[in-house]
Structure 1
Amino acid sequence: MDHTPEYRPTVHFTPDDTWMNDPNGLLFHKGQYHMFFQSNPTGRLWGNIGWGHAVSKDLVEWQELPTAIPATTEEMAFSGSAVWDRHNTSGLGSGDEGPLVAFFTSAYTSEHPTRPRQQAQSIAYSVDGGDTWTRYEGNPVIDRGSADFRDPKVFWHGPTERWAMVVVEAKDRQVLVYTSPNLLDWEHASSFGPVGEEGVLWECPDLIEVPIEGSDASSWVLLLSTNPGGYSGGSGMRYFVGDFDGETFTQDLDGPRWLDYGPDFYAAVSFHGADEPLIIAWMANWLYSNDTPTFPWQSAMTVARRLSLVTTDRGLRLRQRPVLPDSLPDGINRFDFALDPGDEIAIETGEGENPSRVVLSRTPDGGLILDRSAADPHSVHGGIPTTNPIPHPPGTARGVVLEDHGLIEVFLDDGLISISMQTFPVQGPARIVTPAAVSRS
Structure 2
Amino acid sequence: MPRASSILSSLLYLGSVFAQDASTTSSTVPTGTPVPGNYDGALRPQLHFSPPKGFMVYNPTADVAGNQHWGHATTTDGYTFENQPIALFPPNNETFVFSGSAVVDANNTSGYFPGQDNGVVAVYTLSNNTSQNQNVAFSKDGGYTFEPYEGNPVIDIGSTQFRDPQVIINTDQDLAHSN
> One fold, TM greater than 0.5?
yes
Cα distance 1:157–1:130, how it changes in 2: closer, same or farther (>3 A)?
A: closer
Matched, 1:20 2:65: no
C-alpha contact 2:48 2:81 (8 A) present in aligned 1: no
1:69 counterpart (85, 88, 99): 88
User: Is the CA contact 2:48–2:78 (under 8 Å) kept in the aligned structure 1?
Assistant: no
For residues 137 and 44 of structure 1, the distance between their equivalents in structure 2, rounded to whole angstroms, comes to: 32
Q: Which has the higher strand share?
A: 1
Deviation at 1:93, TM superposition (A): 1.5
Q: Aligned residue for 1:102?
A: 122
Aligned length: 139
Question: In the aligned structure 2, how far is the partner of 1:56 from the partner of 1:13?
Answer: 9
Q: Deviations over 1:225-258 (max 9, x none)?
A: xxxxxxxxxxxxxxxxxxxxxxxxxxxxxxxxxx
Identity of aligned residues (%): 41
Q: How far apart in 1 are the matches of 2:126 and 2:61?
A: 19
Question: Normalized per residue, which structure has more helix?
Answer: 2
Instruction: Go from structure 1 to structure 2 and tell me whether the alpha carbon gap of 1:9 and 1:98 turns closer, same or farther (over 3 Å shift).
Output: closer
| CA offsets 1:334-378 (integer angstroms, 9 cap, x no match) | xxxxxxxxxxxxxxxxxxxxxxxxxxxxxxxxxxxxxxxxxxxxx
What is the distance in 2 between the residues matched to 1:96 and 1:132?
15
Distance 2:116 2:72 in 1: 25
Report the residue type matching 2:144 in the other structure: D
Q: Which of 149, 165, 173 is matched with 1:162 structurally? A: 173
Question: What secondary structure does 1:46 align onto?
Answer: coil
More contact order relative to length (CA 8 Å, sep ≥ 6):
2
Q: Which structure is larger by alpha-carbon Rg, 1 or 2?
A: 1
Q: Which of 61, 67, 77 matches 1:58?
A: 77
Q: 1:140 aligns with which of 126, 141, 153?
A: 153
Match for 2:66: what amino acid? G
TM-score (norm 1): 0.30
Partners in 2 of 1:95 and 1:12 — Cα distance? 34
Cα RMSD of the aligned pairs, angstroms, is 1.8
SS at match of 2:42: helix
Q: Paired residue for 1:88, among 79, 84, 108?
A: 108
Distance 2:152 2:82 in 1: 30
Q: Is the 8 A contact 1:94 1:127 kept in 2?
A: no
SS of equivalent residue, structure 2 residue 56 = strand
Q: Deviations over 1:299-342 (max 9, x none)?
A: xxxxxxxxxxxxxxxxxxxxxxxxxxxxxxxxxxxxxxxxxxxx
1:44 equivalent to 2:52? Answer no
Contact 1:122 1:136 in 2 (8 A): yes
Amino acid at match of 1:129: G
Alignment CA distance shift 1:95-1:74 (3 Å):
farther
Write the distance in 1 (CA, Å) between the matches of 2:160 and 2:111. Answer: 30
Pairing partner for 2:98 from 60, 78, 82: 78
* Alignment partners' CA distance in 2, 1:79 and 1:96: 26
Q: Which runs of 5+ in 2 are unaligned?
A: 1-39
Structure 1 residue 10 and structure 2 residue 46: aligned?
yes
- Poorly superposed stretches of 4+, deviation over 4 Å: none
1:152 to 165, 172, 179: 165
